[in-house]
């Protein structure tokens, strides 16, 4: 009895100890994980509030990259980070590590999140940073490259048709020559059987001359046809000299208007801000590219490569988060080019005339490589000046001239031509 009682109590003590160790292990485990926060919720909060200045990698945006942050800050990290996120200004006053980090990162103060984020939310963010997710960035890559490939496929359909025609013509010529020699040898064989002397061995040229002599009308028709073709093509060719719609030179950076103006619907004027302000719409300077590309580094290797060219040109070091390298100007190939003897002013057309960019530049938001849309000939300019009604309502620029013109041409739509838009000196001076 006594013995069994002892055994029982021993068992009880053993069980108790095991339970205790389990509980304490659980507690230490929890302490190891830092907080009771939810990393998934923390990820969302991080993107909303922190990602503007901090990346989860090693690169600096405004503040340092936060990869492995939980191992660098003073331990226990959860407590320190909580204090820091909540009110970094207070921590900075006393904490040596905080002061060092502040000095290393250009002394830019971080936002105080006391009042913006709750304690539980801060714990979530810390949990997220302690267990960062693996990068998942290739999701959209396939779709994008697929689109580009499809666009490239349709490009040279026209020249394919000409090649096919050329091959057919050549095949027919060869067939004619083969048939001629077959006919000749058959005729020779027949003549031999009949005992007639073989026909004179005439060359192709002699044969042709003979055919021309005996078929004068057909020859005249063929010649007329050839001359007509020559004249039509020649005429069109001469008109096409220096008229280059569809001209789409390759560029040093594969910039796609389709991605920027199409998918991301960035206004044309955002980059070409000169169009509203002066003669030239302008190629944006690299600081305009960097307004977005400081943060957007490319979702797939192909994009990354192109965006790295911007960094190289701007002298931006993404790892340091500073313009610490030498800069290199980008030499773009000009697509739209008016000769110097024709004056054209963008702001006149965009601000005063209230024209859409697409009117002259075509559906640029669908182009992967920029191309010339309009012929940019004088006839094209003049036609538009003749046909397009002038936006005079609520256009402060025209208040006076509007009244004068309404009096002069009652009931008529006023076009640019009515206001002297066809005068030579308007564009050539």
Partner 1 sequence: MKNKMQKMLMKIIPMLGAGVYFSLLFSSCTRNNPDSSGVEYMPDMYRSPSYEDNSVNGFYADSMTDRRPVTGTVPVGFWPDPFPNTPDGWADAKQYLKDPYPASPEVQADGKAIFEIYCIHCHGKEGKGDGPVAQKLPGPPPPYSSPQIRAYSEGEIYQVLEYGGAYGNNLMGSHASQLTVDERWKLIRYIQVLQNLGQSDSTKATTATDTVKNTVPSTPNS
Site for partner 1 in 303-332 (CB under 8 A): 329, 331-332
First CA to last CA distance, the chain: 124
Q: What residues contact 78, with CB distance under 8 A and at least 6 apart?
A: 34, 35, 123, 126
Q: Of 136, 197, 214, 341, which lies in the binding site for partner 1, with binding defined by CB under 8 A? A: 341
Q: Of 27, 174, 196, 222, which lies in the binding site for partner 1, with binding defined by CB under 8 A? A: 174
CA distance 184 to 188: 6
- Binding segment for partner 1 (CB under 8 A), chosen from 85-93, 128-136, 141-149, 390-398, is 390-398
CA distance 145 to 138: 11
Q: Does 299 bind partner 1 (CB under 8 A)?
A: yes
Smallest gap from Cβ 353 to partner 1, in A, equals 16
Cβ proximity to partner 1, 239 vs 409, nearer residue? 239
- Binding segment for partner 1 (CB under 8 A), chosen from 25-33, 80-88, 241-249, 375-383, is 241-249
Cβ proximity to partner 1, 217 vs 424, nearer residue? 424
Smallest gap from Cβ 248 to partner 1, in A, equals 5
Smallest gap from Cβ 11 to partner 1, in A, equals 57
Q: Does 233 bind partner 1 (CB under 8 A)?
A: yes
Contact 43, 121 (CB under 8 A): no
Cβ proximity to partner 1, 46 vs 77, nearer residue? 46
Site for partner 1 in 105-124 (CB under 8 A): 106, 108, 111, 115-116
Q: Of 139, 250, 410, 425, which lies in the binding site for partner 1, with binding defined by CB under 8 A? A: 250
Site for partner 1 in 352-371 (CB under 8 A): 369
CA distance 207 to 96: 104
Cβ proximity to partner 1, 41 vs 51, nearer residue? 51
Cβ proximity to partner 1, 33 vs 391, nearer residue? 391
CA distance 176 to 183: 10
- Residue 414: count other Cβ atoms within 10 Å of its Cβ: 18
Q: Does 244 bind partner 1 (CB under 8 A)?
A: yes
Cα 208 to Cα 180, 182, 205, 215, 228: the distances in Å are 12, 17, 5, 10, 22
Q: Of 37, 43, 50, 64, which lies in the binding site for partner 1, with binding defined by CB under 8 A? A: 50
The residue count for binding partner 1 (CB under 8 A) is: 76
Smallest gap from Cβ 380 to partner 1, in A, equals 16
Q: Does 406 bind partner 1 (CB under 8 A)?
A: no
- Binding segment for partner 1 (CB under 8 A), chosen from 21-29, 119-127, 258-266, 380-388, is 258-266
Cβ proximity to partner 1, 196 vs 292, nearer residue? 292
Smallest gap from Cβ 370 to partner 1, in A, equals 11
Q: Of 291, 356, 377, 413, which lies in the binding site for partner 1, with binding defined by CB under 8 A? A: 291
Q: Does 62 bind partner 1 (CB under 8 A)?
A: yes
Site for partner 1 in 65-104 (CB under 8 A): none
Q: Does 159 bind partner 1 (CB under 8 A)?
A: yes
Cβ proximity to partner 1, 20 vs 174, nearer residue? 174
Q: Of 4, 334, 411, 425, which lies in the binding site for partner 1, with binding defined by CB under 8 A? A: 334
Q: Of 207, 242, 387, 423, which lies in the binding site for partner 1, with binding defined by CB under 8 A? A: 242
CA distance 219 to 212: 6
Q: Of 32, 195, 396, 425, which lies in the binding site for partner 1, with binding defined by CB under 8 A? A: 396
- Binding segment for partner 1 (CB under 8 A), chosen from 22-30, 74-82, 156-164, 415-423, is 156-164
Site for partner 1 in 187-226 (CB under 8 A): 203-204
């Amino acid at each position: 009895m006594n013995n069994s009682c002892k055994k029982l109590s021993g068992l009880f003590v053993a069980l108790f100890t095991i339970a205790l160790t389990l509980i304490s292990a659980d507690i230490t485990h929890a302490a190891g994980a830092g907080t009771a926060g939810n990393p998934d919720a923390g990820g969302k909060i991080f993107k909303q509030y922190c990602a503007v200045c901090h990346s989860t990698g090693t690169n600096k945006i405004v503040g340092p990259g936060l990869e492995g942050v939980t191992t660098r800050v003073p331990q226990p990290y959860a407590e320190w980070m909580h204090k820091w996120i909540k009110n970094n200004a207070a921590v900075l006053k006393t904490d040596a590590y905080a002061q060092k980090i502040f000095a290393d990162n250009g002394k830019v103060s971080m936002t105080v999140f006391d009042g913006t984020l709750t304690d539980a939310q801060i714990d979530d963010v810390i949990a997220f940073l302690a267990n960062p997710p693996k990068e998942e960035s290739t999701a959209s890559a396939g779709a994008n490259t697929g689109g580009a490939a499809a666009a490239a496929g349709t490009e040279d359909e026209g020249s394919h048709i000409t090649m096919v025609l050329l091959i057919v013509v050549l095949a027919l010529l060869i067939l004619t020559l083969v048939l001629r020699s077959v006919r000749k040898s058959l005729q020779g064989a027949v003549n031999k059987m009949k005992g007639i002397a073989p026909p004179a061995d005439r060359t192709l040229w002699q044969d042709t001359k003979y055919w021309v002599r005996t078929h004068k009308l057909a020859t005249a028709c063929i010649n007329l046809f050839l001359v007509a073709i020559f004249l039509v093509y020649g005429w069109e060719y001469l008109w096409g000299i220096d008229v280059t719609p569809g001209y789409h030179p390759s560029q040093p950076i594969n910039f796609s208007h389709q991605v920027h103006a199409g998918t991301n619907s960035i206004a044309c004027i955002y980059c070409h801000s000169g169009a509203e302000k002066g003669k030239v719409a302008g190629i944006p300077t690299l600081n305009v590219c960097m307004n977005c590309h400081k943060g957007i580094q490319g979702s797939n290797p192909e994009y990354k490569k192109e965006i790295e060219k911007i960094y190289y040109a701007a002298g931006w070091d993404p790892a340091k988060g500073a313009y610490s390298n030498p800069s290199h100007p980008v030499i773009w190939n000009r697509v739209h080019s008016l000769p110097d003897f024709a004056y054209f002013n963008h702001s006149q057309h965009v601000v005063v005339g209230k024209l859409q960019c697409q009117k002259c530049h075509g559906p640029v938001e669908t182009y992967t490589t920029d191309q010339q849309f309009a012929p940019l000939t004088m006839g094209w300019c003049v036609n538009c000046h003749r046909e397009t009604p002038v936006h005079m309502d609520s256009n402060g620029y025209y208040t006076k001239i509007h009244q004068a013109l309404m009096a002069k041409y009652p009931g008529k739509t006023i076009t640019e031509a009515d206001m002297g838009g066809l005068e030579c000196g308007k564009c050539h001076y």
